[in-house]
C-alpha cells in the first residue's frame, strides 16, 4: 500500500523546509505532519488556533474551524499554503492563502500571515471553490486548479509575488464528471498531466474514490485521456483504484527530489474497522508511452 500509518485526509503535496518534509491536511485550523525521512511522521503545529475573521461571513455554515484540503508551494522564499473553507454538500465556499517564510516552528522568523480569500463560490455559482492544487510552470507563472462536483475542475492564474489571483484573469474549465474533485497538475517532457478524483469520499470502507488522468499540450487544456476523450466530456483514464484493502485512493500530489517522484495520497484502510483515511506514499515512474505509472508499494 505504501501506507505511512497515520490518519490523514486530503494530504497536500509534500514540501521540504531545511531537513524536514511537511504535509498539510484537512482538520481544525489546517493540520500538519512532519518527517525526516518520508517514512516516520509526527504531528506538527496547526496553522490557526482561531478561525480567520472573514470565515463567519463568507461561509457561515462552516463549523469548528474546519479547514479542508490544503495545498502548499514554496515561492521565492515564502511558503504559500492555500486552504478551503466550506460545508458538506454546498458550494458556498472559499479558498484562502496564508504564508510563512519558514515551516520550522523553532525558527525566529516563523509566523503565519493570513491573506484572506483568493477565490470563492456562492450558491448561485456553477462551481465549488475547494480542493486547491498549485503548479508553477517553467516560465515562472503560478497556477491553481480547484473544484468539486457542480461544473467540475477549474483553473486560475495567480500572481507569484502576492499569491492572489491575477486581476481580471480568466477562469478555465478543465474536466467534468458527475462526481469529480481533488485535481493535481504536473508536467513531464513538455506535456501537462491532470489527476482528478471520481467517486465518493468520506464513507470509510464504502468509499468509491478513484484517481483518473488526462494530459494536454497546454496547461489550460484540453486534457485528453489515453483514448483521446476530452476530460471536459467525461474522459479520464483510470490511474489508481481500490486494490484489496487499499480502498478509495484520492487527493494526488507529487514531490520530486533527487530523481525520485514521490506520489502522495490518502486511502481508506481496510485493515482498520472504520476504514480510517490514511496517508500513503509511493514512487512514480514514466512509461515509454509518456504516461505515469506507480511503482510497486514499499
pLDDT at 220: 98
pLDDT tens digits, one per residue of 129-153: 999 999 999 999 999 999 999 999 9
**How many whole angstroms separate alpha carbon 58 and alpha carbon 51?**
12
3-state secondary structure labels for all residues of 127-178: CCCCCCEEEECCCCCEEEEECECCCCEEEEEECCCCCCECCCCCCEEEECCC
Catalytic residue among 71, 131, 181, 225: 181
**How many whole angstroms separate alpha carbon 214 and alpha carbon 195?**
7
pLDDT tens digits, one per residue of 260-269: 999 999 999 9
Q: What phi and psi values does residue 223 have, to the nearest 5 degrees?
A: -100, 125
pLDDT at 64: 60
* CA-wise closest residue to 83 among 96, 100, 66: 96
pLDDT at 89: 73
pLDDT at 225: 98
pLDDT at 52: 82
pLDDT at 50: 84
pTM over 0.75: yes
**Cell representation of residue 93:** 465556499
| Annotation marks residue 10 as catalytic | yes
| Annotation marks residue 243 as catalytic | no
Write down all domains in the chain, each with its CATH number in brackets.
Answer: 3-294 (2.115.10.20)
- For each of the chain's 298 residues, which pLDDT tens digit applies? 688 888 999 999 999 999 999 999 999 899 999 999 999 999 999 999 887 878 877 777 776 667 889 999 999 999 999 999 887 778 888 999 999 999 999 999 999 999 999 999 998 899 999 999 999 999 999 999 999 999 999 999 999 999 999 999 999 999 999 999 999 999 999 999 999 999 999 898 999 999 999 999 999 999 999 999 999 999 999 999 999 999 999 999 999 999 999 999 999 999 988 899 999 999 999 999 999 999 887 6
Catalytic residue among 10, 71, 131, 276: 10
Beta pairing partners, 193: 186, 215
* CA-wise closest residue to 39 among 26, 20, 25: 20
Amino acid at each position: 500500500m505504501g501506507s505511512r500509518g497515520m490518519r490523514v485526509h486530503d494530504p497536500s503535496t509534500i514540501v521540504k523546509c531545511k531537513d524536514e518534509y511537511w504535509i498539510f491536511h484537512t482538520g481544525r485550523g489546517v493540520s500538519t505532519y512532519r518527517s525526516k525521512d518520508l517514512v516516520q511522521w509526527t504531528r506538527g503545529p496547526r496553522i490557526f488556533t482561531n478561525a480567520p475573521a472573514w470565515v463567519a461571513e463568507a461561509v457561515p455554515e462552516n463549523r469548528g474551524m474546519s479547514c479542508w484540503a490544503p495545498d502548499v508551494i514554496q515561492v521565492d522564499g515564502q511558503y504559500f499554503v492555500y486552504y478551503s473553507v466550506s460545508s458538506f454538500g454546498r458550494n458556498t465556499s472559499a479558498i484562502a492563502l496564508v504564508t510563512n517564510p519558514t515551516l520550522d516552528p523553532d525558527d525566529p522568523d516563523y509566523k503565519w500571515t493570513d491573506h484572506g480569500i483568493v477565490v470563492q463560490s456562492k450558491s448561485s455559482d456553477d462551481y465549488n471553490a475547494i480542493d486547491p492544487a498549485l503548479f508553477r510552470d517553467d516560465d515562472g507563472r503560478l497556477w491553481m486548479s480547484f473544484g468539486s462536483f457542480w461544473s467540475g475542475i477549474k483553473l486560475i492564474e495567480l500572481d507569484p509575488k502576492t499569491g492572489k489571483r491575477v486581476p481580471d484573469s480568466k477562469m478555465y474549465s478543465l474536466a467534468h464528471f458527475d462526481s469529480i474533485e481533488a485535481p493535481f497538475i504536473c508536467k513531464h517532457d513538455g506535456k501537462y498531466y491532470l489527476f482528478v478524483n471520481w467517486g465518493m469520499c468520506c464513507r470509510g470502507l464504502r468509499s468509491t474514490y478513484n484517481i483518473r488522468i488526462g494530459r494536454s499540450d497546454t496547461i489550460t487544456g484540453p486534457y485528453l485521456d489515453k483514448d483521446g476523450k476530452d476530460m471536459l466530456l467525461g474522459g479520464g483514464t483510470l490511474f489508481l483504484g481500490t486494490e484489496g484493502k487499499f480502498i478509495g485512493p484520492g487527493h494526488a500530489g507529487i514531490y520530486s527530489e533527487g530523481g525520485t517522484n514521490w506520489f502522495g495520497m490518502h486511502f481508506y484502510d481496510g485493515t482498520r474497522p472504520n476504514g480510517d483515511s490514511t496517508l500513503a506514499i509511493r514512487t512514480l515512474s514514466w512509461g515509454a508511452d509518456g504516461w505515469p505509472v506507480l511503482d510497486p508499494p514499499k
